[in-house]
Amino acid sequence: MNLKELLNYAKIYLSKNKIEDAGIISKLLIEYIFNIEKEKIILFYEKELDENSIKRYKTLLEKIVLGVPVQYIINKQEFMNLNFYVDENVLIPQPDTEILVEEIINQYNGKKCKILDLCTGSGAIAIALAKYIEYAEIVASDISVKALQIAKLNAEKNLVHRKIKFIESDMFTKINDNNFDIIVSNPPYIKTEVIKRLDTQVQQEPSIALDGGQDGLKFYKIIVNNSYKYLSNDGKIFLEIGYDQKEDVINLLNKSNYYKDIYSKKDLGKNDRIIVASIRR
């Protein structure tokens, strides 16, 4: 079997099993197994493949059909034009989160700023900010030791480890600084009862990074009720939200009386995706 034949087999197999993006996934697995860049696969269409590699490739296709995200198989995800290692201990960084990072970069690029990234997971937000904001000084925290190990690895891979301090902390419990210009977070925000109804692939991601409590607002409440203690006089919070959480989170901010100039922005799918608020002093 040559490469073109295997690729066609994969596309048909995945499509029959109702797997979205069958063509993309097929090529990602080709790149992973055969070490051929997906952009150059067409140049190797006639390459004859050994049986062991074909068998391994088909085994991975079966895992995809069973619901394992391709990113966990190839241990890679791109975010903000940077490459990240990911496995089942961290959420897979998504393009929608780039809206959050871009909003901070647009406001603070070229400025000296101190940033706290809560629930850092793979470190995607903290690392992207460290990469694109020259004078950023960042503290990134997570309750998961395994997630922090991955975040540290990603910081080293992207050459920003000297700009980020990683802390094992349950939200604010071990955060000792109190003069951050920015607190940013993509916290767990899915309602507990909804998680069991999510796509099989999403359910493969760590529940600790998905579960936002009964109302999905558990961690927003913690952030809203505590951020003002840790922000500088001109500080801001930047939050990713679920598509249906805009009003709930804005209500939390308004009721606290600690924040002003609250606004939201949509993602590329036209869903409400981030909320920004300035500290009221």
Angle in degrees, 0-180, between the axes of helices 51-65 and 3-16, rounded to the nearest 10: 20
72: in domain: no
The sign one gets for the Cα dihedral 159, 173, 223, 256 is: negative
What tokens appear for 179 in the block? 């003069």
Angle formed at CA 88 by CA 85 and CA 89, multiple of 5 degrees: 80
Over residues 161-179, the pLDDT tens digits come to: 999 999 999 999 999 988 9
What's 198's DSSP letter? S
Q: Taking all residues of the chain, what is their mean pLDDT, rounded to a whole number? A: 93
Residue with tokens 């300035």: 278
Q: Which residue segment(s) compose the domain that 170 sits in?
A: 80-279
Q: Identify the CA nearest to 236 among candidates 83, 111, 53.
A: 111
51 and 124: one domain?
no
Number of domains in the chain: 2
179 and 229: one domain?
yes
239: in domain: yes
Over residues 211-263, the pLDDT tens digits come to: 788 898 999 999 999 999 999 999 999 999 999 999 999 999 999 989 999 99
Domain boundary residue, one of 31, 66, 101: 66
Is the pTM of the predicted complex or chain greater than 0.85? yes
152 and 217: one domain?
yes
46 and 141: one domain?
no
Q: Can you give the CATH number for the domain in which 250 is found?
A: 3.40.50.150
203 and 104: one domain?
yes
